[in-house]
Structure 1
């Protein structure tokens, strides 16, 4: 073999090796990202830590654990509760986790995971209120609710009640504290958390839960595959004890 041919052969091998390296770079897949919508004013499920400004809560820890199980990075997007389903429909977010009750009406628009938390609606009134003891007593009263929630739906069924809708649960509680409404109708764990944080000085929870509700993680109605992956991840988290660990962290008891 002549020196010229040998040189061309070496150069050819060198160029081929560069091409293979380039192909390797093109084939490397970027980290999978899940854009998750949540209305971060629904403690203890999702809220913003006052000191760190990080989004925290039961739902936040759970979706991050689910993402880790799926090998995906979770990016939380804080948005209004009533904007979550439109966000899924527009594909601006992949999933929504925000204490969202699974209902037939919502299930017509989105795909839900299997239930991951059981809740129910209760009432909160001011500590010195003695006239409201059951949902029947709400007739003709002023009721604060969060926009787009099942609490709002149920409150609207109360005879002669005046309904005031707010963008977040904290706004509804502030209206109660200010005396602008007689009661707040919201999810039991959220009501319990609010009363615990205020030391029970301003408000109290009364009556039996009106409903039994299941929370689900939502995806676009067309994205059945993603929900199947979420369901699988939740089952794995329950088997390995991570779900129980997160539950105990936020609710102080085992599920």
Structure 2
């Protein structure tokens, strides 16, 4: 189950027109190599956001091998010269993280692009493979892939089989009309008197209903709405029937970018950890346990953070509010009783 129930809601956060027109065509066969966007040119530039269909601002990032980090890799990988990257985006994809681009064949998005950046630091050629969510883990288990970059939440349950190198916050978010003055500010009390839409059966619905119960005990109200489709949710937002939509943050960031030139642009009104108030959820590169990949990948991520490419990658996909200060190997994950 991806990203602590957030991947389902993330997929539901895709605008219907883009989902139908862009994602359903041309996905690579399960477990097969996907067409990859241009990785590193002769000048050592990795271009992120290519053929992104408006989900990203195309950005060239100068990246080259850091030999002190690539030396940490297992000898067999250094000899092969390639990093096999697993993405769990079949059958439909989930923008802006991983989906088929506007050329109808290239697997693009924030996750494969970040895998390509990490591979460049490691001095390896990225080979991006697209799987179903379940088969992505099978691919890592069997050695068909070295690492998964696919919105995978760090959990203590998964640590039984995998090592993690964290690189992004696992956040939920509030989306409001750009003209709205309301902000969440990390305080459920700010929801008092508001009407908020949420997708039925999701992690964020569970959290929102818990806040509703707390406010009720304080003699305050929070009205929670469910709609049958994403289009209906956004019609309610633009029509003023709801104050905000609470969903998986990457999907909201995608819609915010898509709506920027519309008559009713939206913005983020704040985020909340997908793991709840007591723990910041983390998205992590996922490798087979004791494979020797986690530390060099974490070191590569930290190199990208220190040298600015990381921030530019996030900004290209409107995901700056999911930045981490540093990558860690096997940081505290979602507890066993909540995995």
**In structure 2, do the counterparts of structure 1 residues 253 and 210 end up closer, same or farther at CA, with 3 Å as the change threshold?**
closer
**In structure 2, do the counterparts of structure 1 residues 208 and 252 end up closer, same or farther at CA, with 3 Å as the change threshold?**
closer
In structure 2, which of residues 91, 94, 101 is the aligned counterpart of residue 49 of structure 1?
Answer: 101
C-alpha deviation, 1:93, in angstroms? 2.4
Any idea what the Cα deviations from partners look like across 1:83-142, whole Å, max 9, x if unmatched?
4334423433221112222233333332110x2122411356999xxxxx99889xxx99
The aligned residue for residue 305 of structure 2 is 238
Unaligned runs of 5+ in 2: 1-78, 179-183, 210-223, 237-241, 274-279, 324-339
C-alpha deviation, 1:206, in angstroms? 8.2
The aligned residue for residue 130 of structure 1 is none
Q: Give the aligned CA root-mean-square deviation in angstroms.
A: 4.5
Kindly indicate whether the alpha-carbon contact (under 8 Å) linking 2:204 and 2:247 is maintained by their aligned counterparts in 1: no
**In structure 2, do the counterparts of structure 1 residues 226 and 206 end up closer, same or farther at CA, with 3 Å as the change threshold?**
closer
**In structure 2, do the counterparts of structure 1 residues 156 and 105 end up closer, same or farther at CA, with 3 Å as the change threshold?**
farther
Kindly indicate whether the alpha-carbon contact (under 8 Å) linking 1:34 and 1:67 is maintained by their aligned counterparts in 2: no
Equivalent position SS for 2:293? helix
Q: Which has the higher helix share?
A: 1
**In structure 2, do the counterparts of structure 1 residues 117 and 33 end up closer, same or farther at CA, with 3 Å as the change threshold?**
closer
For 1:206 and 1:251, locate their aligned partners in 2 and report how far apart those are by CA, in whole Å.
10
Kindly indicate whether the alpha-carbon contact (under 8 Å) linking 2:163 and 2:286 is maintained by their aligned counterparts in 1: yes
Please give the residue correspondences for 1:52-201 in structure 2 after superposition, counting only pairs within 5 Å.
Answer: 53-113=105-165, 115-123=166-174, 144=199, 152-156=202-206, 173=230, 176=233, 186-199=247-260
**In structure 2, do the counterparts of structure 1 residues 105 and 126 end up closer, same or farther at CA, with 3 Å as the change threshold?**
farther
C-alpha deviation, 1:48, in angstroms? 2.2
The aligned residue for residue 181 of structure 2 is none
C-alpha deviation, 1:235, in angstroms? 2.1
Aligned pairs, how many? 212
For 2:104 and 2:207, locate their aligned partners in 1 and report how far apart those are by CA, in whole Å.
40
Please give the residue correspondences for 1:217-236 in structure 2 after superposition, counting only pairs within 5 Å.
Answer: 217-220=285-288, 222-236=289-303
For 2:107 and 2:176, locate their aligned partners in 1 and report how far apart those are by CA, in whole Å.
28
Any idea what the Cα deviations from partners look like across 1:40-94, whole Å, max 9, x if unmatched?
4230x32322136322233222211111222222222223335433442343322
For 1:59 and 1:209, locate their aligned partners in 2 and report how far apart those are by CA, in whole Å.
20
C-alpha deviation, 1:197, in angstroms? 0.6
Unaligned runs of 5+ in 1: 1-28, 128-132, 165-171
Equivalent position SS for 2:144? coil
Kindly indicate whether the alpha-carbon contact (under 8 Å) linking 2:168 and 2:283 is maintained by their aligned counterparts in 1: yes
Kindly indicate whether the alpha-carbon contact (under 8 Å) linking 1:85 and 1:109 is maintained by their aligned counterparts in 2: no
**In structure 2, do the counterparts of structure 1 residues 204 and 237 end up closer, same or farther at CA, with 3 Å as the change threshold?**
closer
For 1:163 and 1:230, locate their aligned partners in 2 and report how far apart those are by CA, in whole Å.
40
Equivalent position SS for 1:251? coil
For 1:163 and 1:83, locate their aligned partners in 2 and report how far apart those are by CA, in whole Å.
32
C-alpha deviation, 1:219, in angstroms? 1.1
